[in-house]
Chains A and B, each alone.
Chain A
Amino acid sequence: MSRVAAAAIAWSQCGGADCVRLSGLAAGLAAGLVVEVRPELDVASGGFPAMAGRLVRDGDDVCFVPRFPFVDGTSYTIAVGGTAAAVLTRARPQPPASTEVRGIYPTAAEVPRNLLRFYIWFSAPMSEGYAAGHVRLVDAVSNEPLTGAMLPGSELWSADRRRLTVLLDPARIKRGLTAQRRAGYPLRRGEPFLVVVDDGFRDALGRPLCGPAARRYAVGTDERRRVDPGRWTVLAPSGGTREPLEVEFDRPLDHGLLARCLHVTGPGGQQVAGGPEPGTGERSWRLTPVQPWAPGGHRLIVDPVLEDLAGNSVSRVFDRDLARREDRPGPDKPVAVAFCPR
Chain B
Amino acid sequence: MRTLVLARHSFRRIRPIVVGMAIVLAGFQFLLTQVAVFLMRNQAFGLLSSLVPDFIRSLAGPSMVAFMSFGGVVALGYFHPVVLVSLLGLAITIGTEPAAEVETRFDDLTLARPMARHEVITRTVLLLVATIALLLIVMTAATWTGLTCCTPASAERPAFGLIRSLATALGAVVLCWGGIALAVAAGARRRATAAGLTAVTALAAYLVDYLGRVWDPARLAGRLSPFHYFEPMSLIAGEAASAANLVVLMTITLAGVAVGYARFSRRDL
Partners in one complex: no
Residues of B with Cβ closer than 8 Å to A?
none
